[in-house]
Structure 1
Amino acid sequence: MKNHKAFLMIGISVTLALLAVVLASRWISQQGNISTSKVMVAAVDINLGTRISPELIRSVDWPSGSVPKGSFSDAKALDTRVTRVSLLRGEPLVDAKLAQPGASGGLSAVVAEGKRAMTVRVNDVIGVAGFALPGNFVDILVSTQGEKSGTSDKDLNISKLVLERILVLAVAQEASQNETKPKVVSAVTLEVTPEQAEQLDLARSVGQLSLVLRNQIDLKPAQTAGATKQSLLYAQLPAAPAAPVKPVIQRVKLSHKAALITPRIVQDCQQVMTGAGTVTQCF
């Protein structure tokens, strides 16, 4: 009986093993028959603003069910196109990452539609110690002095946030977004709208600019009133204690008639016997 049960268990185990082998081989054969499509990818790392040439791209097999939207299967369709962002080796080329057909290479192809590129002078402090790199977003502060009104001697120095979430296109003459090491430069090129370009030009003419590096995923606008000398130095001072109020005593002169009707004050009196006689004392 025991041998019969042992042979039964061995038979079941062998059957299950054969079934697993059959299923695995079928799955492998199905994976080998997945349909693919040709997709053009970067053969090397490509910097933004680069004109596409045949030696920079190559064709690879890509699963048909996951072909990136806007990708290219023909190298001729990419001839003379210009990249708007940096591409890594093996990354598919899609239309959203390329400038419009006919655009020339260089920084002008990187500027988004409706935007402008504007350069401002910076130093190691204004440029956030060289950490404001292409692809980063910055806020712009201006430190200036307001216009006096009347004869007021009030200090009107103010520091105000004038522009937020401005894209850094290039530092000095470099626009590569692959660099991560800080680099101190003398000029930074920013991507702004025409209205922001006017504000930035006015801000740098009336005061000193400062760049403030911000998180790339932070989209919340800042609501600030600006910092002045008064708000910086005196806003947190405790209020001076109020002076004690002294009671005011008024002397009122009563008329003769009022004095007559004034009630008399009742006093306690007592008589004290002394050697000189009786003395009356009132309290």
Structure 2
Amino acid sequence: MKNRRAFAMMGLAIVLGLAAVVLASRWLLRQTPGGARIVVAAADVNLGQRLAPDMGRLADWPSASLPQGALRDPGQLNGRVLKTSVQRGEPLTEAKLAPAGTLGGLSALITEGRRAITVRVNDVVGVAGFALPGNFVDILVNTQADGEGQGKDNAISKIVLERILVLAVAQEVSRDETKPRVVNAVTLEVTPEQAERLDLARSVGQLSLALRNQVDPRSAATTGATRHVLLARAEPAPVAPVTALQPAPARVQPAATAPAAAPRTHCIAVINGVHNSRECL
């Protein structure tokens, strides 16, 4: 009898436990927001590469955090070109794809209204290989200033273009590498006006690249560096001429004068024959 009662209590506890598990799971499912299936990269893909449907796969994604412009069908990737590199499992959106019909390669990376122009560099001009795709650089030209005469005294170095985007180094457009690469050519993204200035600059002088901070948009308004400015020295303050000291002239003391004789007030007339005289005391 006691065993039967114990078994009954154990059975009741098991039934109540299962019921609690079922109710809790249903409650959790109601609390969890619904998901959606979007297209993510099936492998690492570099920018400028033409896509195929097998380069993407569907993956579950929370509806509350769906990326804007997310794709729902891998077939939408057919023939599209990436504008930026993506990693495996990263969502593929319209913002990361070039417009439909765009050919693959560097042309897909050029912003609308801009141009790509290539300049020859070396290990010094190319900032020791640190000018990588995605970086911004300033361009300097070293040439002869306008005016008469040629030579070092008439040389000038001036920044002609600022904050220019590096699209590619040599034939590589990948932006994933951070190690410096010494190459012989760098491709830059410029406006048509900047392309004209850059073409003229490389024909009149030697070009140099100056790597700049990625998030610094400030312009450096300079007048250029010349030989006279470079070697300018502060002029010494003028010194007053030293003159020989002359001895001060001796002061002439006026000669002492004899005191004037006191006037005589008592006089006596003296008569001597025919002569008269007067004597005063």
| TM-score under structure 1 length normalisation | 0.74
* Pairing 1:232–2:230 present: yes
1:99-110 matches, cutoff 5 A:
99-110=98-109
Q: Residues 31 and 111 from structure 1, CA distance in 2 versus in 1: closer, same or farther, beyond 3 angstroms?
A: farther
Structure 1 unpaired stretches of 5+: 1-20, 248-264, 272-283
**d(CA) in 2 for partners of 1:159, 1:207:** 9
**SS state at 1:55 partner:** helix
Q: CA deviation at 1:71?
A: 1.4
**d(CA) in 2 for partners of 1:240, 1:108:** 59
Once superposed, what is the RMSD of the aligned Cα atoms?
2.7
Residue 267 of structure 1 corresponds to which residue in structure 2?
A: 253
1:18-75: CA deviations, max 9, x gaps?
xxx99xx589815873211111111111111001112211111111111111111112
1:43-62 matches, cutoff 5 A:
43-62=42-61
**d(CA) in 1 for partners of 2:83, 2:129:** 23
The count of corresponding residues between Structure 1 and Structure 2 is: 229
1:10-159 matches, cutoff 5 A:
29-30=28-29, 33-149=32-148, 155-159=153-157
Q: Residues 106 and 29 from structure 1, CA distance in 2 versus in 1: closer, same or farther, beyond 3 angstroms?
A: same
**d(CA) in 1 for partners of 2:52, 2:65:** 26
Q: Residues 101 and 177 from structure 1, CA distance in 2 versus in 1: closer, same or farther, beyond 3 angstroms?
A: same
1:109-134: CA deviations, max 9, x gaps?
11110111110000000001111111
**d(CA) in 2 for partners of 1:128, 1:120:** 13
Q: Percent identity?
A: 57
**SS state at 1:155 partner:** helix
| TM-score under structure 2 length normalisation | 0.75
Structure 1 or 2, whichever has the larger Rg, is 2
**SS state at 1:244 partner:** coil
**d(CA) in 2 for partners of 1:27, 1:35:** 14
Q: Residues 164 and 28 from structure 1, CA distance in 2 versus in 1: closer, same or farther, beyond 3 angstroms?
A: farther
**d(CA) in 1 for partners of 2:151, 2:43:** 64
**d(CA) in 2 for partners of 1:155, 1:28:** 84
Residues 53 and 76 in structure 2, CA contact (< 8 A), matched pair in contact too:
no
Residue 194 of structure 1 corresponds to which residue in structure 2?
A: 192
**SS state at 1:242 partner:** coil
Whichever residue aligns with residue 128 of structure 2, its letter is A
Runs of 4+ in structure 1 displaced over 6 angstroms? 151-154
Residue 262 of structure 1 corresponds to which residue in structure 2?
A: none
1:78-129: CA deviations, max 9, x gaps?
2111001111111111112111100010111111101111100000000011
Residue 241 of structure 1 corresponds to which residue in structure 2?
A: 237
Q: Residues 220 and 27 from structure 1, CA distance in 2 versus in 1: closer, same or farther, beyond 3 angstroms?
A: farther
Residue 270 of structure 2 corresponds to which residue in structure 1?
A: none
Whichever residue aligns with residue 40 of structure 1, its letter is V
**d(CA) in 1 for partners of 2:86, 2:108:** 15
Residues 118 and 185 in structure 2, CA contact (< 8 A), matched pair in contact too:
yes
**d(CA) in 1 for partners of 2:197, 2:256:** 94
Q: Residues 161 and 64 from structure 1, CA distance in 2 versus in 1: closer, same or farther, beyond 3 angstroms?
A: same
**d(CA) in 2 for partners of 1:63, 1:162:** 49
Q: Residues 127 and 239 from structure 1, CA distance in 2 versus in 1: closer, same or farther, beyond 3 angstroms?
A: same
Q: Residues 31 and 51 from structure 1, CA distance in 2 versus in 1: closer, same or farther, beyond 3 angstroms?
A: farther
**SS state at 2:49 partner:** coil
